[in-house]
Amino acid sequence: MSEQYENLVRILGNDIHGELNMLIGLSQIKGIGYMFANSMLQVLKISPHQKIGNLTTEQISSIEKIIENPKAADFPTWFLNRRQDILTGDDLHFVTSDIAFNIRNDIEREKNLFSWRGYRHMYGLKVRGQRTRCTGRKGGAVGVAKGGKVLPKGGAGAPAGGGAAVEGEVAPAADGAAPAADAKPAADAKPAAAEKKE
């Protein structure tokens, strides 16, 4: 632990604030989780409770070496995030932008092979066998369009007799206001002009 304190510590191109705890600071690097950071600190005999701004230059370089090649530090294979790489067949561990780059290449390869996983990726559907009946709904609304409001029985807006509203009949407003202008008259009602002629 060095006596000098750095406000920003740069590890593999990532700027980490010096006031952060060692475990929290190292897990800021994409591809380094809490358990991976804890194992690194145990191998390097660095206290996980110290501030990351107190690291020496030698400690920072040793951390970068382990991140770039964890197998050299006898890390178990299941710690690595790229086991049996399809191009090299080796067990690798990717960090920072290499993760997104390889994931994008994997998806493009699946699409070019026209595999079922590739089709699922193309249409933006779930790939890993999850159920899609009630989850994973994206895009516009699908299903029955929402209809008009149903009049309540015996409540405000119901006919004076208390019965159900007749189809085509305009229900009176609750506050005594005139019915809406777009309300249609009943089907069996005759126009006033026709009644005068008879």
Question: What tens digit of pLDDT does each residue of 53-109 get?
Answer: 989 999 999 999 999 888 888 888 898 988 888 888 888 899 988 999 999 999 999
pTM: 0.59
Kindly report, residue by residue over 128-139, the tens digit of the pLDDT.
999 888 887 775
Q: What is the dotted CATH code of the domain comprising 8-78? A: 1.10.8.50
Local confidence band at 190 (pLDDT 50, 70, 90 cut-offs): low
Question: CA nearest 54: which of 24, 18, 13?
Answer: 18
Greater pLDDT, 132 or 198: 132
